[in-house]
Amino acid sequence: MSRPPQHFKVASSEHNGVSVIQSQVAVTAANAVAAALPSSPGGKAAAPGKMKKSSGDKDSDEYRQRRERNNLAVKKSRQRSKQKAMDTQQRVNQLKEENERLEAKIKLLSKELSVLKDLFLEHAHNLADNTQPPSAANPAADNP
């Protein structure tokens, strides 16, 4: 393959006392390079790994190996996802059972508290009835 002719335009200028030399490649060389690159619909060059493979590549060993690795990775990912869902469901069930036990315990302790309050109030009432001031309890003892 022959190279397209390159035309250089050399310009020299002076900026702030410094000499600057500029060169420019002719438009024909840029067009030749751009035509050689594959492009995508957006006008941008396609990435080397993203270029379409011909149908003959599907029969290659490399393609089959990549597909097998990908299939195994997908299978493994799905299995992990299923396991995670099962673990989560098991945890939910455990927490539900624990919640039911705790609610039953709350109910039992509430009943026990109610009984103890009633006993306490009854005892306090009995104490108040039995403990009266000495003058009111025995009026004859005050008069000799």
How far apart are the C-alpha atoms of 31 and 29, rounded to whole Å? 5
Alpha helices in 40-133 (DSSP H): 61-130
69: number of Cβ within 10 Å: 10
Reported as a single tens digit per residue, the pLDDT across 69-110 is 999 999 999 999 999 999 999 999 999 999 999 999 999 999
Q: Band of the pLDDT at 26, cuts 50, 70, 90?
A: very low
Taking the complete model, does pTM exceed 0.75, yes or no? no
